Structure 1
Amino acid sequence: MSIGNSPEEDRPSAGPHEDRPPVGRVLRQARIDAGLTVDEVSSATRVRVPIVQAIEQDDFSRCGGDVYARGHIRALARAVGLDPAGLIEQYDAEHGGRPRATPAAPLFEAERIRPEPRRPNWTAAMVAAIVAVVGFVGFTLFGGDDQSGTPVAKAEATPSASPSPTASDAGPAPEPSDSAIAAAPADKVTVKLVATNGNSWISAEDHTGRLMHEGVLEDGDSQTFTDDEQIDLVLGNAGAVEVFVNGKKVEPVGEVGQVQRVSYTKGDPAQG
């Protein structure tokens, strides 16, 4: 115990986590012991400097929610050489455990209604066709006796056929089939994650425990991972992510707002 502690700090602990220093203080001390600056930790983890500083002061209000707070704690702990499991457990105990799925529903409903498929521009096609017809009629009335003018009239009328393919090209592209998702090699495990129902924090490790990727997968984006034996995933918002294993889509691994841990091997697509 350091000199000058207040009487409140010297009181006996009333719970399993109250005798531990705060999560932010542990991360800050570990960073200092590792000889790292806040800027260096921010660059290594891609967590913005103001958020790193707030977390080290045990202020998690800037993280954007418990799911992202856990992800930031995990990333900062690994950057300074700590095991994140104990810090995540302490954070859950101090902040009421895992988040419920219900509060996240309004956000993901708003994200779901945002995309709108483009419709064919029939107005532009009709205008182009009318212009071509008027040009052809005008040429016939004022230059019909000129034999050399016939090819010109045909050339002017030709664009009337072009708007239809152009307008139809503006329609929504067909969805790829499961077999076209990935030509997965038979001697490896390939996992593709697609955010289709909002943002999700994700983490991926290979069979040796090496971190392959960690960060936020934004709505509409995807990430693909390949390993010789096994891929371990953590999905911060499992209901927002579609999972394709070895070229095949698997069943949803969780609900919106749920944090799920799954593993896949070469023998899947059965969920690991």
Structure 2
Amino acid sequence: MSIGETLARERERAGLTITEVSLRTRVRETVVSGIEHDDFTTCGGNFYARGHIRSIARVIGIDPEPLVREFDEAHGGAPQPVSAVAAFEPETSVPLRERRSPNWTAAMALALVLVVGYGIFHVLSGGGGEHHAAQQVAGTPAAPAPSTPAPRPSTPTPKATPHKGVQIKLKARRATWVDVRGDKGRSLFTGTLAAGSTRAWSARKVISIVIGNGGGVRVIVNGRDIGAPGASGNVLTMRFTPSDPKPQDTQSA
């Protein structure tokens, strides 16, 4: 029995129509119907065809992996992780802003100049020393003028430093294919996360992730849960550094 025949038979057993499957998977009815007739030309390529097969299989309640393997055998094998990153990362990389630490040396030098300048001004402005000495000889010594303390330079409050390194954790709500890469594109993991499983990775500067099903995982960046990054069936590429997550990265559960 072919892939399309298997999906059509199991959909009917589940009591679902093509329209209902389309609404639940967000895959167009024409694409669902074509897949059930083993026509994958409307999927937009083998990569998307695999994602549609997985989405449809999960909705009708069967294991998608045997069908995906059958598809790979008939269409040239599984995709290479490197080509997936090369295809998605340049177009959807998350822009990052550079953070600079405050220049403490310049601040302290400016404060020192102000203190020295104030001291010189104070000395030059007290030129009535001879008149003050004459008062001491002629009569009662004048009370000494109160000294004015030199102002202390204010110490700026240091800004929060970025997190040391990058720490990423994925919690799979549904079985989801992911590709995780660290510094200089080094592969950290490529494969399918089983539903209910949790995996974590770390790197010094950057971690890039390709997620085959954006609604199938929760993403935790440097200890902060940003939720599911996209809708079910969507393929996403994300990139994180020690300064992430940004406020706009947080998604609802």
Asked if these proteins are the same fold (TM beyond 0.5), I'd say no
Structure with larger Rg: 2
Superposition TM-score, scaled by structure 2 size = 0.42
TM-score (norm 1): 0.40
